[in-house]
């Protein structure tokens, strides 16, 4: 038996082996004798005769295709059904040449491998996949002070309404708070897990205990202030706060620097017989806790409706064309007023549409530069010339076109209109002044 390799027999007769190497191996092993040339020619002649007879028979009786059209004959005499190309089929160069010459018969191709272009490839807008559903959870917002932040808690099985008093579990222990946001759904991804639960709805006993804690806080404040004077510490006591379960007493104070209050803590712990915590706060937090009346005649924003402090910079005052006098733009706390930020976004949006001071503009009366700009009103004053006595006219921002900016020398003095080096266009080109 011949050996098998990869499932195929090796050696044997010529029917089981094909190719150049297979024939050579047969001859080497002596598997068969060489055929004579006369026998080969006779076999080829008989094969050609049979093919011609089959071709003639197929030509005399065309076989209809499945769609009623006759089959076309190929080079091997086999019929192929005529196929029609769809509008989205890509044609070859030979097909295009055949269409240009109607008398030339188009070559036959197997269209089964042609590329069918999907219709959605021609859509102007890509098909958007539906957004994955987000996991939602129930939350309630609780505020512990009138002007404090709102913290999220898990309501468990309670249905809470706005203004309802509740007892919640916090990192500092059990606390008494007020519902600021009733039950609602929020995405889990937007929350800081894990949410602490609402322990219960406040009862009359809880409210009575809360009121007693407020009275004890006033007494603790007076005692701590007296102890600070006895120890001679440079700190200002701001507020005293009891935990709901009286497990901790916190004192808030402000100071210019660091204060060593270790002896004070020991003295207070011996008086109140509970855990004592002293926390130093900033000057803005002090104004928030104490409250007061601002220069506008209204209560402090931070102690009424501002729940957090945002960054305020002197640039905001410049954008709003306010006086840079610190006494006029500073609050009672000595910092920049929080209200400078309220309209800052509006001023920034309007400033992008209104030409700035020293901008070179083209008007219907000629070219000049801006000497005054009213951002909210959209009104600018333009001096039509470099001289001091040049006429000044008022335009709206829609009536002028900015063509550059004015470059002036800066030698420690205010910008002088007569000391102009030229005009700098938006492309960076400098135009000398006349």
250 within 8 A of 279, measured Cβ to Cβ: yes
Q: What is the DSSP letter of 276?
A: E
Q: What's the average model confidence in pLDDT over 92-114?
A: 55
Last residue of a domain, one of 202, 219, 242: 202
Residue 301, exposed/middle/buried by CB under 10 A (0-12, 13-18, 19+)? middle
Q: Among residues 138, 137, 141, which one has the least CA distance to residue 151?
A: 141
CA distance 69 to 82: 7
Q: How much is the pLDDT for 180? A: 92
Q: Tell me whether residue 392 is in a domain.
A: yes
Per-residue pLDDT reduced to its tens digit, 134-153 = 788 899 999 998 878 899 99
CA distance 368 to 432: 14
Q: Tell me whether residue 122 is in a domain.
A: no
Are residues 407 and 373 located together in one domain of the fold?
A: yes
Are residues 364 and 325 located together in one domain of the fold?
A: no
231 within 8 A of 263, measured Cβ to Cβ: yes
Q: Tell me whether residue 152 is in a domain.
A: yes
Count of domains in the chain? 4
Are residues 428 and 358 located together in one domain of the fold?
A: yes
Q: Tell me whether residue 59 is in a domain.
A: no
Are residues 304 and 336 located together in one domain of the fold?
A: yes
CA distance 50 to 88: 42
The answer to pTM > 0.85 is no
Q: Is the pLDDT of residue 37 over 90?
A: no
Are residues 174 and 238 located together in one domain of the fold?
A: no
Last residue of a domain, one of 181, 202, 223: 202
Q: Tell me whether residue 170 is in a domain.
A: yes
Q: Compute the mean pLDDT over every residue in the chain, rounded to the nearest whole number.
A: 75
Q: Tell me whether residue 149 is in a domain.
A: yes
Q: How much is the pLDDT for 74? A: 45
Copy the structure tokens of residue 107: 């070559």
Across 73-77, 143-147, 364-368, 374-378, least confident range: 73-77
Are residues 148 and 175 located together in one domain of the fold?
A: yes
Per-residue pLDDT reduced to its tens digit, 45-71 = 555 555 444 444 444 444 444 444 444
CATH number for position 239: 3.30.300
Are residues 173 and 221 located together in one domain of the fold?
A: no
Q: Is the pLDDT of residue 278 over 70?
A: yes
Are residues 358 and 420 located together in one domain of the fold?
A: yes
Q: How much is the pLDDT for 14? A: 43
SS3 state at 1: coil
Residue ranges making up the domain that contains 270: 209-281
Q: Is the pLDDT of residue 226 over 50?
A: yes
Q: Tell me whether residue 334 is in a domain.
A: yes
Q: Is the pLDDT of residue 304 over 90?
A: no
- DSSP state string for 13-32: -TTS--SHHHHHHHHHHT-S
425 or 206, which is more confident: 206
Per-residue pLDDT reduced to its tens digit, 307-357 = 888 888 888 888 888 888 888 888 888 888 988 888 888 888 888 888 888
SS3 state at 252: strand
Last residue of a domain, one of 202, 220, 252: 202
CA distance 361 to 373: 12
């Amino acid at each position: 038996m011949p050996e098998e390799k990869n499932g195929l027999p090796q050696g044997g007769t010529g029917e089981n082996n094909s190719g150049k190497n297979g024939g050579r191996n047969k001859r080497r092993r002596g598997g068969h004798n060489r055929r004579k040339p006369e026998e080969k020619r006779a076999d080829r002649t008989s094969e050609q005769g049979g093919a011609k007879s089959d071709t003639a028979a197929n030509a005399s009786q065309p076989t209809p295709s499945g769609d009623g059209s006759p089959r076309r004959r190929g080079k091997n005499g086999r019929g192929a059904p005529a196929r029609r190309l769809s509008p989205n089929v890509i044609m070859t160069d030979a097909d295009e040449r055949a269409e240009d010459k109607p008398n030339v018969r188009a070559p036959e191709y197997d269209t089964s491998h042609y590329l069918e272009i999907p219709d959605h490839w021609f859509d102007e807008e890509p098909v958007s996949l539906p957004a994955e559903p987000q996991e939602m959870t129930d939350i309630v917002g609780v505020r512990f002070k009138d002007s404090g932040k709102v913290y999220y808690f898990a309501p468990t099985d309670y249905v809470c309404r706005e203004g309802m008093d509740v007892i919640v579990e916090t990192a500092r222990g059990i606390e008494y708070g007020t519902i600021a946001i009733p039950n609602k759904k929020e995405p889990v991804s937007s929350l800081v897990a894990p949410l602490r639960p609402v322990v219960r709805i406040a009862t009359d006993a809880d409210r009575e205990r809360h009121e007693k804690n407020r009275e004890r806080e006033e007494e603790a404040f007076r005692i701590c202030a007296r102890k600070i004077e006895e120890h001679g510490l440079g700190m200002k006591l701001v507020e005293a706060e009891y935990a709901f379960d009286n497990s901790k007493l916190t004192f808030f104070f402000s100071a210019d620097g660091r204060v060593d209050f270790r002896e004070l803590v020991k003295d207070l712990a011996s008086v109140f017989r509970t855990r004592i915590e002293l926390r130093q706060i900033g000057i803005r937090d002090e104004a928030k806790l104490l409250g007061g009346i601002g220069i506008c005649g209204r209560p402090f924003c931070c102690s009424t409706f501002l729940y957090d402090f945002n960054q305020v910079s002197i640039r905001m005052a410049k954008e709003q064309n306010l006086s840079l006098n610190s006494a006029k733009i500073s609050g009672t706390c000595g910092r920049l007023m929080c209200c400078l930020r309220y309209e800052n976004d509006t001023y920034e949006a309007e400033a992008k549409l209104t030409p700035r001071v020293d901008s070179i503009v083209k008007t219907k009366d000629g070219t000049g530069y801006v000497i005054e700009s009213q951002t909210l009103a959209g009104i600018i004053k333009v001096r039509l010339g470099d001289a001091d006595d040049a006429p000044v006219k008022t335009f709206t921002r829609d009536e002028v076109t900015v063509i550059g900016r004015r470059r002036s020398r800066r030698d420690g003095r205010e910008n002088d209109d007569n000391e102009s080096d030229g005009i700098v266009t938006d492309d960076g080109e400098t135009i000398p002044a006349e």
